Chain A
Amino acid sequence: MQRDGAAFWRLLSAQAIGIAVVALIALGAFAALLLAAGKNPLQAYVDTVVYVFGNATGFAELLVRMTPLVFTAVAAALPARIGLINVGGEGQLYMGAWLATAGELALQNHSAFVLLPALTVLGFVGGGLWALLPAILRALRLVNETISTLLLNYLAPLIVSYFIFGPWRSPESSSYPESPAFVDAARLPTLFHSRVHAGLIYALVCLGLYWLALGRTRFGLQMRAIGGNVEAARRLGIPVMSYTLVVMFIAGGVAGLAGMAEVSAIQGRLVAELSPGYGYAGFLVAWLAGTGAGGILVMSFLFAVLGSVGDMLQITQNLPYAVINILMAGILFIVLARRPIGRAVS
């Protein structure tokens, strides 16, 4: 056991150093690019570090930013384990938000004890159903799930827009298309008087369950068997089709929870623009992390830090926030270029 422990730490620190080297290279290249554009990137880096690590509010912002990424990363990682590609996190997020809003509108007069669990379930179901459709199409060998989840990413925001411009349009603010504000009982509580909300707990629970399920249950074992070799798994009697449906449903449900958290905790109502690409970013997080739970935690934290750098760049350097994508892509490009062949990723 002791030897295993030492080896584990060596592997972990080797990986950490690897990541640190990559990050340093990327940060350096990015700084050079910004300097060429006439900006002061070192100031931005300093400001970010000071704000994010020296300041409770800044750190809280990191956690808030991290939360949806953890959800969507799990949503991409789980199906990856059985060889399915789910890029539909965006759409599943929106549909989770949509169904949760429907529930809020219907159950408004109940207490938080009824509302919050109901909305949680509905958020999960909304996203889950949205992922189930591509799953069925895939299981029936009709349509590849990569493209169907991608297509559904477009339909979901349109459905949400239709409802908030139409049947769910808030009468009090007919001046702006959005659903009526959620009643207080339907809002996820915040923690420690900060902006960090209970959605973070949901996300960590999902991550924990993901880790547990995959590593310690028969369910996870069979999933990994399918992921290793579908035909062999089938011959062993594992019901691959059922797993396809169930796993996609759960994955979509997790992304749906991200949507539910957005409308319940952050926005307080259903609006047209819920996600600035959380679904795709989550997919990248999952991929970078090698779909491991610990990796997802670290990578979503890293992405959140990048987001804060982007904020700082915008406020202090007058650069568009979108520029931070160059840094993120740079890091990813380097990682993609360094990954050895044969590494088990989705």
Chain B
Amino acid sequence: MNSALLIGVVASSVMSGTSLLYATIGEIVGERAGIVNLGLEGIMLIGAATGFAATALTGDAYLGVAAAALAGTAVNLIFAYLVIGRHANQLATGLTLMFFGLGLSALIGRPFLGTLIAGLPKLRLLGLGIMGNPLLSFDVLVYLAVPAAVLVWWLLFRTTWGLGLRAVGENPVAAVAAGLSPSRLQYQALGLAGLLGGIAGAHLSLAVTMTWAEGMTAGRGFIAIALVIFAKWNPLWAIAGALLFGGAESLQLQLQAAGADVSPFIMNMVPYLLTLAVLIAWGWRRQGAAPAALGRNFVGVE
């Protein structure tokens, strides 16, 4: 394996894994509060389309990221209202959200198909690329991804807010007894999740491809949902998971460029097989890391 290949793989895994990481930590926040959002794909698409549209209109990619974050939050709050306020079935609502995102993003993005944008500028850390290699200079979202994951970890595990949130996800009745308001915490969690999901989508359209195409997330939202489980609902593990999944996708392309004979399909299967294997292994060892009340609609003493 030559060094060009290695650097190339790392760089492309990082690019590929960044949006996965944002989406995954967002979903972790929501699931830790007891709500599973199968519509993450839709949120990411809306983020991608809104971010692209805003960037095309204003010429400022950072504004685009902000717009994407706002849009993601807003739409996820609709989801939040349905599952929290109306006690709707989380899976059905989530899938509906996915379809909604597919459609809305297509409508938003349509006038901007083929528009050229400069995208998020690549920044160099301290004036140098990482290890002095110009290849390893990335946009701001990449640099902020790991700090964001650490921040979410800190929020979940080192603050009272996070403690309350996790309590709601484990045992909502006990949480109420302790004086917490499950629905308020869940709304907050889903708002944050929407923000992160929107940013995840924006990274795809503003940094990775610098374009908009219908359905461009290509299932990454669902991959993120699998990653949440892979990461055992812990944002720090999600970093490794995102790199792994991002890496698998780009590794086979890099190997091809280097002349190796790999079947792209087999390589693309590896992340999913790995996730499945890991899940089975944990199930075997009875490590139920999921929040106990995940997926259940709390109809309680409110």
Contacts and interface: CB of A to CB of B under 8 A. Distances in A.
Interface string B272-291: 11011001100110000010
A149 B100 CA distance: 22
Shortest 3 CB-CB distances between A and B: which pairs?
A325-B103, A142-B283, A329-B100
A284 interface: yes
Contacts of A280: 95, 98-99
A29 to B, nearest CB: 12
B78 A151 contact: no
Nearest to A339: B88
B87 interface: yes
Contacts of B222: 150, 153-154
Nearest to A162: B265
Nearest to A163: B265
B257 interface: no
B96 interface: yes
B151 interface: no
A27 to B, nearest CB: 15
A62 B232 CA distance: 44
B103 A323 contact: yes
Interface stretch (B61-69, B104-112, B167-175, B177-185): B104-112
Interface in A146-190: 146-148, 150-151, 153-155, 158-159, 161-162, 165-166
B89 to A, nearest CB: 6
Interface string A304-323: 00000000000000011011
Given A147-B279, A287-B92, A165 B265 contact: yes
Q: Describe A's contact surface by its main secondary structure.
A: helix
A162 B263 contact: yes
Interface in A120-140: 137, 140
A166 B219 contact: no
Interface in B75-120: 78, 81-82, 86-89, 91-93, 95-100, 102-107, 110
A147 B97 CA distance: 18
A345 B89 contact: yes
Contacts of B254: none
Contacts of B102: 322, 325
A332 B91 contact: no
B225 interface: yes
B95 A336 contact: no
B95 A283 contact: yes
B126 interface: no
Contacts of A101: none
Interface residues of A, number: 51
A151 B275 contact: yes
Nearest to A153: B222
A336 B98 CA distance: 14
A145 B169 CA distance: 20
Q: B interface, by DSSP: helix, strand, loop or mixed?
A: helix
Interface string A3-43: 00000000000000000000000000000010001000000
29 contacts: A85-B91, A142-B283, A142-B284, A143-B280, A148-B279, A154-B222, A158-B265, A158-B268, A159-B265, A162-B263, A162-B265, A283-B92, A287-B89, A287-B92, A288-B92, A319-B110, A322-B215, A325-B103, A329-B96, A329-B97, A329-B99, A330-B100, A333-B78, A333-B93, A333-B96, A333-B100, A337-B81, A345-B89, A346-B92
B269 interface: yes
Interface in B248-302: 263, 265-266, 268-269, 272-273, 275-276, 279-280, 283-284, 290, 295, 299
A277 B215 CA distance: 12
Among A288, A323, A341: residue with most chain B CB under 10 A: A323
Q: How large is the interface on B (under 10, 10 to 19, 20 to 34, 35 or more residues)?
A: 35 or more
B106 A151 contact: no
Contacts of A235: none
B210 to A, nearest CB: 21
Contacts of B38: 87
B42 to A, nearest CB: 8
Contacts of A143: 276, 279-280, 283
B103 A337 contact: no
B11 interface: no
B60 interface: no
A236 interface: no
A155 B89 contact: no
B44 interface: no
A324 B103 CA distance: 6
Contacts of A146: 91, 295
B139 interface: no
B231 interface: no
A141 interface: yes
Contacts of B93: 333, 336
A165 B262 CA distance: 13
Contacts of A323: 103, 106-107
B206 interface: no
A198 interface: no
Nearest to B107: A323
Given A142-B284, A328-B99, A336 B269 contact: no
A326 interface: yes
B253 to A, nearest CB: 15
A322 B265 contact: no
A211 to B, nearest CB: 22
A87 B290 CA distance: 19
A184 B78 CA distance: 50
Contacts of A140: 283
